[in-house]
Structure 1
Amino acid sequence: MTTTGARARLERDVSGIVGKQFIYTYDALGWRYELYVRAETVVDYRVHVGKMGGRWVTGQAIDLARLDTDTYKISWIGPTGSALSLTVMPARRILHGVIFGPRWAEDDPEPMIGYQNERLAQIVAARDQGPTYPIHMFGGFATITYLADRGPGDITVIACAPEDLPEGYATRTN
């Protein structure tokens, strides 16, 4: 089905989030992530604090839609078998994320820590070994503590591991 009219124009106009880099912390758990919306179809991200701390990914394919004036939905399924969906409201500095993770990742996240792009064979082997079920679901609100417009297509925004960043990088605010 083809979407037409005002809804179609709204869904396609994602210019308000493409090129944005933001650091956010989940209110309930204190997990800290960084996300850069490199293009309409790609994000790069790092996990600074949390069960997956030390993980970083570049070139992750996404589905991106604008839901309202300042509300965007970013969703993807990674090679781990995890599915993520983020509702981002940049002007309000709020995000709501839902992560659906396979049992193996919850039980032993170690294969996922580090640069995913260089560990794909190890990650896929762990995913295929399982177990997949029961799926672990985490949903929660997060506060965007740092927001910058880096412009689209900048592969230098997320180009190193979290531990290689300067002291205080992930805790800066604006």
Structure 2
Amino acid sequence: MAAAEMPEAKKAKTDPSVKYPEQDLSEVLGKHIIYTYENGWQYEIYFKSADMIHYRIHSGLVAGRWVTNREVCMTALGKGLVRINWQEPVGNIVTMVTSLEDRWLHSYFLMPKWITEDPMATVCHEDEHVEEMLKRREQGPTWPMHIAENAFATITFLEDVGTGRDDIIDCPPDKLPAGYASRKN
């Protein structure tokens, strides 16, 4: 059965005495951040809406890659924590938890074997090359998946630019003004 044909999952009965967090995502929506992982890799992300992000990679294995309008699933976990999950046409699987108030995030990021063997194949504006990325993924190999990141990052730049914008991340890193990614606040 194809994923699109999967029946909707039945919800299990939950304990009514347990109060789940309110799904208020206002802490992250419209925010634009630049962050640096413990290994020095630097990324940037814009939380465009409750189900959409844009991101750009400034340094690391696939530096130069940038993506707009990536569909995501965001969940408020309480106490200012928000989890963001997404999968990509190339086969990457990402889970990120962020605390903007405390200016940190943690990512767990799986990368298929074909990317570890040829990371430069994904360095582009992915939106313009989705069909090519899908073909590369199908050619594989996809297994074993490589843990590309399982680390904390420090948020070095944070601004509220509002939701729904397409001009926040709209070019590759090499087209940005000098010092753009080194901004701090």
Both structures adopt the same fold (TM-score exceeding 0.5): yes
* TM superposition shift of 1:95: 0.6
State which structure, 1 or 2, has the greater radius of gyration over its C-alpha atoms. 2
Residue 96 of structure 2 is aligned to residue 95 of structure 1: no
In structure 2, what is the Cα distance between the partners aligned to 1:61 and 1:121?
A: 17
Which of 20, 25, 30 aligns to 1:14? It is 25
In structure 1, what is the Cα distance between the partners aligned to 2:81 and 2:41?
A: 22
Q: Give the corresponding residue for 2:69.
A: 59
Aligned ranges 1:21-100 → 2 under 5 Å: 21-27=32-38, 29-100=39-110
In structure 2, what is the Cα distance between the partners aligned to 1:99 and 1:171?
A: 24
Contact 1:111 1:122 in 2 (8 A): no
SS at match of 2:58: strand
* TM superposition shift of 1:119: 1.2
* TM superposition shift of 1:106: 1.1
Q: Give the corresponding residue for 1:107.
A: 117
Q: Write out per-residue CA displacement over residues 7-27 of structure 1, whole angstroms, 9 at most, x where no aligned residue.
A: 2x52x2111111001000101
* TM superposition shift of 1:6: 4.1
* TM superposition shift of 1:122: 1.8
Residue 128 of structure 2 is aligned to residue 118 of structure 1: yes
In structure 2, what is the Cα distance between the partners aligned to 1:71 and 1:79?
A: 27
In structure 1, what is the Cα distance between the partners aligned to 2:26 and 2:103?
A: 17
Runs of 5+ in structure 1 lacking a partner? none
The count of residues paired between Structure 1 and Structure 2 equals: 171
More deviation in 33-42 or 108-117? Answer: 108-117
State the TM-score, normalized to the length of structure 1.
0.94
Amino acid at match of 2:183: R
Q: Write out per-residue CA displacement over residues 136-161 of structure 1, whole angstroms, 9 at most, x where no aligned residue.
A: 01200100000000111011111111
Residue 181 of structure 2 is aligned to residue 170 of structure 1: yes
* TM superposition shift of 1:121: 1.9
Q: Percent of aligned positions with the same letter in both sequences?
A: 36
When the two chains are superposed, the root-mean-square deviation of aligned CA atoms in Å is: 1.4
In structure 2, what is the Cα distance between the partners aligned to 1:117 and 1:111?
A: 14
